[in-house]
Structure 1
Amino acid sequence: MSPRRTRPVVNRALAAMIEQAGWTHAATAQHVNAVAAESGERMHYDRSAVGHWLTGTVPRPDAVHAAVEAFRRRLNRPDLAPGHLGWPGPAFAPPADDPWRGDPVARLATLGEDDLLNRRTVLTAGTFTLAALSGLAAHGGRARARAAAGRAGAGDVARIRAATASFADLDDQYGGGHARAAVAAYLAREVTPLLHRATGRARPDLFSAAAELGYLAAYMAMDAGANALAQRYYISTVRLADEAGDLVVRATALRSMAVQAAELGHDGQALALAEAAASALGGHGPQRTRAWITGMRAEAHAAAGTRWDALNLLRRTETQLERADSAPESEWTGNYRRESLEHQIGLTLTQLGDHATAARHFAASMNARRPIELRTRALIGVRAAHAFLRAGDLERAAATVLQLSDDVRLISSARVRDELRRLRADWQPYRDSPAIAEVDAAIATPSG
């Protein structure tokens, strides 16, 4: 129920949009906060703030962006602009800056420079948008970049892939918030100039190598909580893969975009992206990579409520993984192992509500992780603890987190922090348990 108004409504455009959305003032604030959180921005608006907006207060620019995106999703209005909400800006949005169009190399260079400089307009004022995902279907084909004169060859490809492997090891160990500036600088200042000089037989391999590094930059941005930035990097990765004619890299980027959508709660988009990843391979590609994508399809179907499809896809994932004849280390993407499948089973069963079984699979995945996979082990471990808590096993939940407490302090990962935050919120009713109280104090101020 909206509070009694003591000041007249000045912003009638916003009032009309709220009524059209069917939201209360409190619900409006919650949706704005949720959109902002997707890009790593913590906002704490409430119904009184919305009341101030209606009486003429204009929120700060990043809140305007979040509000516009929230109403776009609710009303299915991709054209909606600040002016439609009664705030400064054109009444009708200019043509959107479509990340699927234009020179993909120039876009990537600009994106890397913006990331390196940590510009607020890129990292927070921008929002993760569902409209950008719709561009996948409209602009999924190749759009060849203009190549300048010059030479770039196999040696450049080898160096880029070696750098990507080194950065990936740092990401595995310490999380996406660590060394991101170095990745952005290398991408923008070392790699993109080579792409403009790429000609001849080396060109596809060079674009594939750049796409792999772009994918890593996207994944690190997502792990650091910069989801709008990650979305742009993922789109750049798809476009570079299209330039190279590399279906595996294209499918890989789409699969991780599905993960991002799923973690942000956009179940329909996650399913569409997972299916698009499978379609990109067309039944071809390494069995290990196919298993990695099939597992994501299982999770997405579970979230969408299609239980039997999810369980059948899990069985298919296991079969594909058993048939994989390559060593995991031989493929830059997927790197799919039995412990990866255990994690995917846990995620899928969580969506299906079987928390006790999910907890066992999460724990198996966590315990099998290699020492370098510090971030992944912590992330999955917290998910295991949450599943134990939901299944009513407080002792196992507490013990699982307690053994991770030292690792968590080394990791710079918004995803790990957010998982911990949700876990701590859910175990508050059990704070009288000595085990829960002990571990809650141990992780109260994790670093990163």
Structure 2
Amino acid sequence: MPPRRTRPVANRALAALLEQAAWTHADLARHVNAAAAGNGARLHYDRSAVGHWLTGTVPRAEGVAAAVEAFRRRLGRPGLTAAHLGWPDPGLPSADDPWRGDPVARLAMLGEDDLLNRRTVLTAGTFTLAALSGLAARGGGAGRAAAARAGAADVTRIRAATACFADLDDQYGGGHARAAVTAYLAREVTPLLHGTTGRHRPDLFGAAAELGYLAAYMAMDAGANALAQRYYISTVRLADEAGDLVLRATALRSMAVQAAELGHDREALALAEAAASALGGHGPPRTQAWVTGMRAEAHAGAGARHDALTLLRRTETQLERADSRPESEWTGNYRRESLEHQIGLTLTRLGDHAGAARHFAASMDARRPAERRTRALIGLRAAHAFLRAGDVGRAAATALGLSADVRLVTSARVRGELRGLRAAWQPYRGDALVAEADRAVRLA
């Protein structure tokens, strides 16, 4: 129940939306904080703050942006603005359509904003459902000058640098060396895209898209979801310039992962299906399996159990038919342990926590030493699944074995999994192994 009011409601627009959303004051505060946290901002509103908003107080710009996004998600209205909440524009940059305009110019601006750590990009920006409305759009072509300025050697260097940065990401998480990736993309790679023509142009744009994809993935792993979303969209558009449908599918598939992790099940399903449509049934079997597995997880999130399990079986068949070495494909480096993780995620969505725990554990155990961040992330998911399935001892032992990895990884996703696990095993803190594991991961 809302608290008894001593001052009259001044903001009737906000009150009306609150009623439409069927939220209490505490609900709204929680969802605003969550919308902000998903993008790296820390807000700590409570129900009393919402009461002040209703009597005429306007929150700071970050709070307005997060409240707008919270209502957009709840009501399914991507066009909702601050004005609909009875508030003035917060003075943040307009969320113009990232699918339009010169893709190279947009990437250059995004990279420079990221390098300068502008609050408008890293803090006030929000992951927004409105930006997903253009996922089917195709690039209109980047501006071209008369003379070529880049060639095969540039492509080779970019791909070599991307591989090195990707190895660092695998070992230490997206929060480590992200600034170096951004600087290389913005200062070394993006300038090469301006005015490049000739036979090397598609390869150059493809190499830039691969690096942009890594920048997006690292930003997501570091908790900067709004920034990651923009990088992913830039990756799709660069892939279109390269004429590479596999690259396009890759970015859309990872956007589906991001949407699913942020709780946007409907959007995750749309993005996963868009990735499959980009492939059109073609492409390497290993990459097809990678996309199909995400479709299975997305269908499970949408409550389509039969479709999810059918797609998992199809994923396994596609993976069995793959005749390339996993390391030969930079995208969709899909192996058996990757499928085990996907099955675990799908079964979690379907409520089979015991089954999910087994598959998560199998995936974790098969990971190579260089995959430290992935092993930590999946291992914590395994521990949480064991706990949900009632196997408290296995949950604690699994987490305890991950403490060294967690200590070395800089990843908001890993930290989020860790917070969720520690909150979930609070009722079992009297168990000696749980207490030991809790101390170990807390110190990590």
TM category, shorter: over 0.9
* 1:53 alignment partner in structure 2: 53
Residues 143 and 195, structure 2, Cα contact 8 Å, conserved in 1: no
State the shift of 1:11 in Å.
Answer: 2.3
* 1:75 alignment partner in structure 2: 75
* 2:128 alignment partner in structure 1: 129
- Residues 1:186 and 2:200 are matched in the alignment: no
d(CA) in 2 for partners of 1:13 and 1:326? 58
2:269 partner amino acid: L
State the shift of 1:78 in Å.
Answer: 2.8
Give matches, 1:150-165, under 5 Å.
Answer: 150-165=148-163
Secondary structure at the aligned position of 1:200 is classed as: coil
Residues 338 and 363, structure 2, Cα contact 8 Å, conserved in 1: yes
* 2:105 alignment partner in structure 1: 106
Further displaced range: 198-207 or 79-88: 79-88
- Residues 1:216 and 2:214 are matched in the alignment: yes
State the shift of 1:410 in Å.
Answer: 0.6
State the shift of 1:34 in Å.
Answer: 1.8
Root-mean-square deviation over aligned CA pairs: 1.6
Residues 65 and 90, structure 2, Cα contact 8 Å, conserved in 1: no
* 1:400 alignment partner in structure 2: 398
Residues 287 and 331, structure 2, Cα contact 8 Å, conserved in 1: yes
1:144 partner amino acid: G
Distance change (3 Å), C-alpha of 1:95 and 1:118: closer
d(CA) in 2 for partners of 1:225 and 1:443? 20
d(CA) in 1 for partners of 2:74 and 2:261? 19
d(CA) in 2 for partners of 1:79 and 1:295? 31
* 2:4 alignment partner in structure 1: 4
Residues 152 and 197, structure 1, Cα contact 8 Å, conserved in 2: no
* 2:380 alignment partner in structure 1: 382
Residues 83 and 90, structure 1, Cα contact 8 Å, conserved in 2: no
Distance change (3 Å), C-alpha of 1:77 and 1:175: same
2:128 partner amino acid: T
State the shift of 1:151 in Å.
Answer: 1.8
Give matches, 1:279-358, under 5 Å.
Answer: 279-358=277-356
2:327 partner amino acid: E
d(CA) in 1 for partners of 2:37 and 2:353? 26
Percentage identity across aligned positions? 82
State the shift of 1:76 in Å.
Answer: 3.2
Residues 60 and 90, structure 2, Cα contact 8 Å, conserved in 1: no
d(CA) in 2 for partners of 1:73 and 1:141? 25
Residues 218 and 231, structure 1, Cα contact 8 Å, conserved in 2: yes
d(CA) in 2 for partners of 1:159 and 1:21? 51
d(CA) in 2 for partners of 1:90 and 1:432? 48
Residues 81 and 90, structure 1, Cα contact 8 Å, conserved in 2: no
Aligned match for 1:147, one of 144, 147, 151: 144
d(CA) in 2 for partners of 1:408 and 1:122? 28
Residues 215 and 231, structure 2, Cα contact 8 Å, conserved in 1: yes
State the shift of 1:116 in Å.
Answer: 1.3
d(CA) in 2 for partners of 1:102 and 1:306? 37
State the shift of 1:95 in Å.
Answer: 7.5
Q: Could you give the per-residue CA deviations for residues 343-394 of structure 1, whole angstroms, max 9, x where no partner exists?
A: 1111111111111111111111111111110000000000000011011111
What is the TM-score with the length of structure 2 in the denominator?
0.97
Secondary structure at the aligned position of 2:199 is classed as: helix
What is the TM-score with the length of structure 1 in the denominator?
0.96
* 1:39 alignment partner in structure 2: 39
* 2:86 alignment partner in structure 1: 86
d(CA) in 1 for partners of 2:42 and 2:427? 24
d(CA) in 2 for partners of 1:189 and 1:95? 25
Q: Could you give the per-residue CA deviations for residues 31-64 of structure 1, whole angstroms, max 9, x where no partner exists?
A: 2112112112232211111001112222111111
Runs of at least 5 residues in structure 1 that lack an aligned partner in the other structure = none
d(CA) in 2 for partners of 1:10 and 1:340? 53
* 2:367 alignment partner in structure 1: 369
Residues 220 and 258, structure 2, Cα contact 8 Å, conserved in 1: yes
Secondary structure at the aligned position of 1:176 is classed as: coil
